[in-house]
Chain A
Amino acid sequence: MKFLSTILLALLPLAPAPDAAPGSGLDPSSLSHPPIDSWPTYNGDYSGRRFSSLTKINDQNVKSLSLAWMYQLSGSGDSSGGRISATPLVVNGVMYFTVPDKVWAIDARTGRELWTYTWTSKGGIHLGNRGVGIAGNSLYFETPDCNLVSLNLNDGKKRWNQAICDLDQMYYASVAPVVIKNHIITGVSGDDLDRPGYLEARDPESGELQWHWSVVPKPGEPGSETWPNADAMEHGGGMTWLSPTYDPDLNLLFVGTGNPQPVIAAKGRVGANLFTESIVALDADTGKLVWYFQPSPHDTHDWDAIQTPVLFDGEIDGKKRKLVAQASRNGWFFVLDRETGKNYVSSQFVKTNWAKGVDAKGQPIPNPAKEPQIAGALLSPNQGGAANWMPPTFSPATGLFYINATRAFSIYYIFDTDDKPEGWGGNDQGGWSESMLQALDYHTGKVRWTHKWETPGIRGGLLSTAGNLVFAGDPSSNFIALNATNGEPLWHANLGKSVTNGAISYELDDRQYVVVGAGDKMFAFVMNQ
């Protein structure tokens, strides 16, 4: 009986949503504990850990991993649109992913194309698209021209589209929407013309706005004391470039916010510039701010703190805690209590040169001398950052947080000496960098092991598995499985182009798949039997 109930419990998340046809669709309530045959959200689940509990591929047998299929994008257009930076979703044996303006459904067992959808664009920056969200029989994605589009999951036919930002203000949209209960959570992108960032919840059936959270406050609101005036706030930036994570028990969303604007020349925005460059916890049903922590107060280096806030439970000072951790673009690693925002760990995961220490809250204190200068200031990290949008991973099996890190230097200049600089007003130039995969002990932030890559360059994101593996890209186009405990490379394949997304894993017909995107191709690997 106990066995039977265990089986039933295990099957429970597979039950279709009320509005889903048999054999298709996705019940949003299953997203808290996704079934192993799926990868149903951008991060695989709500936690952002990108940890797969699958063990059929493991440190003992990964040497025999081999190609199951490869899919090359059909009609993907120009080079900017042909790069897969989306993390694919897998639901009911079908894989869904995007490049800007285009969605694919392919068979997750074979790579066979089922349908594609192309959006006719009215503009916007086509730099990358992070993928889709799925609820019931509907799929959701954002377009560079500021639309949230919903498609029918089965045939890719459009249901509706809804404007979520204004192209004329040079916003664009690239975030993979996240489905939480009856909310579609959307974020916005754009870094060129001093606009405020925001996060929104929209209705799954109509796209109508449910709530709107502005990253920068209005005069008189909490946080407004960290801005000099209303005008600076109104143009303060803080884009929401990546999908938030979510704790169903606390009903809190965890969001990393982007850099303040003007980006480099900050004469007109004296102060900490809340809630840009922050990790914030929002009530998922109202969008109300519950707490914040600011990794880069008064940032002047484009080091947006949008890196995935990764949720896991752990032990700090002998007590069990609900934690959230971020390896931030500014080179610092933070571990916080996700109920309260209390800081437990602030440490550098690569050596940096811009902070004077940390304040009472554990936030780095920027050194004013390392703000961009007219004659140039040597900074580490550079504008690309010690981390960027590429997903990190946390393995509860090893207790390690993995980040494909960069240690880089460049010289930051102020170009615009106006009393009211606008846009960027400066930039960084030149540079030197090195790259490495870092495994961090979340208790201390100390680097447990480093695997240094031989060259710098594009590497994509990470996946960890219960098979004691971390899957990573290197700068030489290799896709590599490393021993998660000690960093030893165990298997690799050269994909011809560098990994450009985060790998995923799922199990179908007792066979574990690992799938990764590199340029305009998707590769699926399995253990051949």
Chain B
Amino acid sequence: MTREQWGGIVSNMISRGAKGSDEEFAEVVDYLAANLPPAKGATPTAQTKAPRPRSLIDEAGANDKQVVDEEAAARGKTVYIAQCITCHGTKARGGERGADLVRSLVVLHDRYGGTIGPFLAKGHPEGKSITLTQEQIVDLSHFLHQQVGNTLRTGPYNSVLNVLVGDPKEGKAFFDGPGKCSQCHSTSGDLAHIASKYDPPVLQLKVVFPQTAAFGRRSATNSRKPVTVTVTTPSGESATGVLDEIDDFNVSLQDDSGHYRSFQRGPGVKVERHDPYAAHVALLDEYTDKDIHDVVAYLETFK
């Protein structure tokens, strides 16, 4: 997947409780983008050919499933275009004239043409059967298995297409009005040139979920503000700093001088949290989707 796609996934993980610093998450995204780039052959541009470590979705299917040879798949594509595309469609998903080959059991059970070859040899399509060499059958097999892989969640179709559907004028009205964005932000200050820092889909995530890291065009220059906490003990001792961990029983923080402080919670121990993104959280119940798209369209004007 692309850096942007991995950024989205890591953002999801953060929102579901994954713990780490911005720098650590950025490192993770850099690592994933470098080592798990978009599926080979997914786009016309050349991709780095790095080996893909196994991920959960890669585990789907049998251990002996076909390993797609991209060059063979490219050759197989020409066979497909010449012989199959008319009935089975550009994505091999079939149509009125031909079966869906991505979902075909003949294809799914195939290994390197071992099932596809005999199937074609029996005479397919009926009355007008095609004749392929063994090499062409293997190439076609690679192409079809590539199409199956492209259908999975790790495939090349899995990226945001276009979020710029809003009205910049109405976005400005929301920004200055009911969204109350302008109470904390300025398009000539902290948001100056915001559109050149983030691709539109990332900008949208950044607007709605700034508390979970979103990843810019370059390596993370993220400035996620930390949640801070003030703990006051019954004796009146007080400590303020960046929240480290908190549960029903304990709270810990790092104070301004870098010291780690940890407290047991209980009667008389006062804990005050300050979430710098509280206003964004409150908006989640207020926003319409149009508001979000409008604000993104507005911010996109600040290149």
Please list the residues of chain A having a beta carbon within 8 angstroms of any beta carbon in chain B.
Answer: 80, 121-127, 144-145, 167-170, 172, 190, 192-194, 231, 235, 351, 353, 369, 373-378, 380, 382-384, 408-411, 413-418, 420, 422-425, 427-433, 453-458, 474-476, 478, 480, 489, 492
Q: How far is the CB of B137 from the nearest CB of chain A, in Å?
A: 18
A411 touches B208 (CB 8 A): yes
Contact of B62 among A145, A382, A411, A424 (CB under 8 A): A145
Find the B residue at minimum CB distance from A384: B16
> Of residues A123, A235, A429, A476, which shows the largest number of chain B Cβ atoms within 10 Å of its Cβ?
A429
Further pairs besides A375-B293, A429-B201: 12, Cβ < 8 Å: A125-B60, A144-B59, A145-B62, A375-B164, A378-B287, A411-B204, A413-B161, A429-B8, A431-B14, A431-B15, A432-B212, A478-B247
Q: How far is the CB of B279 from the nearest CB of chain A, in Å?
A: 12
Contact of B209 among A351, A373, A414, A430 (CB under 8 A): A430
B159 touches A415 (CB 8 A): yes
What residues of chain A lie closer than 8 Å to B160, measured between beta carbons? 376, 413, 415, 429
Cβ-based interface call for B155 (8 A): yes
What residues of chain A lie closer than 8 Å to B56, measured between beta carbons? 80, 125, 127
Over the window 9-35 of chain B, the binary record of Cβ atoms lying under 8 Å from chain A Cβ atoms (1 yes, 0 no) is 101101111000000000000000000
- Give 8 A-B contacts (CB < 8 Å), ordered by A residue: A122-B62, A168-B62, A193-B108, A409-B208, A413-B160, A422-B151, A433-B17, A453-B247
Cβ-based interface call for B285 (8 A): yes
A476 touches B247 (CB 8 A): yes
Give the contact stretch, choosing among B80-88, B99-107, B116-124: B99-107
Q: How far is the CB of A158 from the nearest CB of chain B, in Å?
A: 20
B15 touches A458 (CB 8 A): no
A431 touches B212 (CB 8 A): yes
A410 touches B249 (CB 8 A): no
A169 touches B204 (CB 8 A): no
Size band of the B side of the interface?
35 or more
> Of residues B61, B108, B287, which shows the largest number of chain A Cβ atoms within 10 Å of its Cβ?
B61
Known: A235-B103, A375-B293. A456 touches B15 (CB 8 A): yes
Instruction: Provide the bound-state CA to CA distance between A378 and B163, in Å.
Output: 13
Q: Across chains A and B, which 7 residue pairs bring their CB atoms closest together, nearest first?
A: A457-B17, A431-B15, A476-B247, A429-B8, A123-B63, A123-B62, A423-B151
Cβ-based interface call for B284 (8 A): yes
A168 touches B165 (CB 8 A): no
Q: Chain B at the A interface: mostly helix, strand, loop or mixed?
A: loop
B16 touches A431 (CB 8 A): yes
A430 touches B57 (CB 8 A): no
**A-B residue pair count with CB separations less than 8 angstroms:** 188
A454 touches B246 (CB 8 A): yes
A424 touches B158 (CB 8 A): yes
Instruction: Provide the bound-state CA to CA distance between A52 and B209, in Å.
Output: 41
Contact of B12 among A167, A369, A430 (CB under 8 A): A430
B108 touches A168 (CB 8 A): yes
Contact of B284 among A168, A377, A380, A428 (CB under 8 A): A380
Within 8 A of A (CB), among B211-265: 211-212, 214, 245-249
Cβ-based interface call for B205 (8 A): yes
B153 touches A424 (CB 8 A): yes
What residues of chain A lie closer than 8 Å to B105, measured between beta carbons? 168-169
Q: How far is the CB of A87 from the nearest CB of chain B, in Å?
A: 22
A432 touches B281 (CB 8 A): yes
Cβ-based interface call for B64 (8 A): yes
Known: A192-B152, A351-B285. A456 touches B60 (CB 8 A): no
> Of residues A235, A380, A409, A430, which shows the largest number of chain B Cβ atoms within 10 Å of its Cβ?
A430
Cβ-based interface call for B162 (8 A): yes
Find the B residue at minimum CB distance from A459: B17
Known: A369-B289, A409-B284, A457-B16. A192 touches B63 (CB 8 A): no
A410 touches B12 (CB 8 A): yes
Find the B residue at minimum CB distance from A231: B100
What residues of chain A lie closer than 8 Å to B109, measured between beta carbons? 168
What residues of chain B lie closer than 8 Å to A169, measured between beta carbons? 105, 108
What residues of chain A lie closer than 8 Å to B148, measured between beta carbons? 193
Instruction: Provide the bound-state CA to CA distance between A480 and B151, in Å.
Output: 43
Instruction: Provide the bound-state CA to CA distance between A409 and B163, in Å.
Output: 18
Instruction: Provide the bound-state CA to CA distance between A375 and B153, in Å.
Output: 19
What residues of chain A lie closer than 8 Å to B64, measured between beta carbons? 122-123
B205 touches A430 (CB 8 A): yes
Over the window 266-289 of chain B, the binary record of Cβ atoms lying under 8 Å from chain A Cβ atoms (1 yes, 0 no) is 000000000000001100110101
What residues of chain B lie closer than 8 Å to A424, measured between beta carbons? 152-153, 158
Instruction: Provide the bound-state CA to CA distance between A368 and B9, in Å.
Output: 25
What residues of chain B lie closer than 8 Å to A384, measured between beta carbons? 16
Known: A430-B205, A430-B209. A422 touches B102 (CB 8 A): yes
A430 touches B11 (CB 8 A): yes
Find the A residue at minimum CB distance from B227: A455
B60 touches A429 (CB 8 A): no
What residues of chain B lie closer than 8 Å to A427, measured between beta carbons? 8, 153, 158
Instruction: Provide the bound-state CA to CA distance between A24 and B166, in Å.
Output: 68
What residues of chain A lie closer than 8 Å to B63, measured between beta carbons? 121-123
What residues of chain B lie closer than 8 Å to A235, measured between beta carbons? 103
What residues of chain B lie closer than 8 Å to A124, measured between beta carbons? 59-62
Contact of B61 among A168, A413, A416, A420 (CB under 8 A): A168
